[in-house]
Amino acid sequence: MMLTLPPIDLPGNTHQVSPNNSTYVTSAAQYRMSWAAVIERSHPRWDALTEGFIEEHRPTDTFGVAGLESQEHSAMWLGPADIIARFVANPVAVPWSELTQHGGFADRWPNGNAWNELIPHTTWNPDGQGIVTEFQFDDGGSVVVYELLGRPALLSPGVDAIGEGLVPVVTFHCTRCHYDGDHSDRHMSAAPDDRRTVCKKARQHTRSDRCRGEEANARGDQMIAAVQEVIGKPVSGSTKGLHAAWCQNKRLDPHDLMVSSSCAEVREARTHTDRHCAAAGARG
């Protein structure tokens, strides 16, 4: 018995980080439920589904399980099957109070081959396209984590191949220094851990020793000017702003395996988020 819930955004959500590592997220103020299931004792892969739990929490009979996630974190709930069975039968409102009072929570979703086959792929945005989260700089600009359809460099655990089509990809871009999240930063967006990995990289980039701001833009301006010179279109006057303009107007090619992030991609992702918000407002 499995229920997959539609994605909902959690605007204004906040996350707590480790006191020893500001890029390691430990929990969130708000979570959404992405799926819920009842695992029967008679399930043909019972042993594989339960062997990963520590002995004191390993189920011995039919149990309920649910996958919770935020933009940067994920958790599993494990507890009485009847709570999930009632919710699956009538999925009007997540029974948060019952989940808190009964059962327990653990960091991350369960994994392993049996779980990878059972748990549905999820994206943060309804169609796998839109903003996931954003980290603002005090002096302007931000590091944006977003999803778009494309060709990822890294696949989700349990995914061996994606064929020739496009799939949701999660990556990041800095609108302050226009740091390119290159092709190796483009992950398939099919599970919270995919997005957690990219969000951690985005947080790392917000450190003062990572984002060089104007220094990086100046180097980028010089690089663009040099390229223009080579192709016979020299820049007359100041080169300031060339890198930012190039980033804003970069051509989008979702089929490109070696593509890097850009402000153009961020703009496209924001367009999708605006549509999601409008659709949610229309539904009331």
Q: Is the pTM value of this prediction over 0.75?
A: yes
pLDDT tens per residue across span 221-239: 667 767 766 667 667 767 7
> Which segments of the chain have a pLDDT < 70?
180-183, 217-218, 220-222, 225, 228-231, 233-234, 237, 283-284
Average pLDDT along the chain? 90
Amino acid 146: pLDDT: 97
pLDDT tens per residue across span 113-162: 999 999 999 999 999 999 999 999 988 889 999 999 999 988 988 888 88
Amino acid 180: pLDDT: 64
Amino acid 228: pLDDT: 67
Asked if residue 196 lies in contact with residue 72, where contact means CB atoms within 8 angstroms, the answer is yes
Asked if residue 189 lies in contact with residue 123, where contact means CB atoms within 8 angstroms, the answer is yes
Amino acid 238: pLDDT: 74
Q: b/e per residue, 7-30, with b = 16+ CB within 10 A?
A: bebbeebebeeeeeeebebeebee
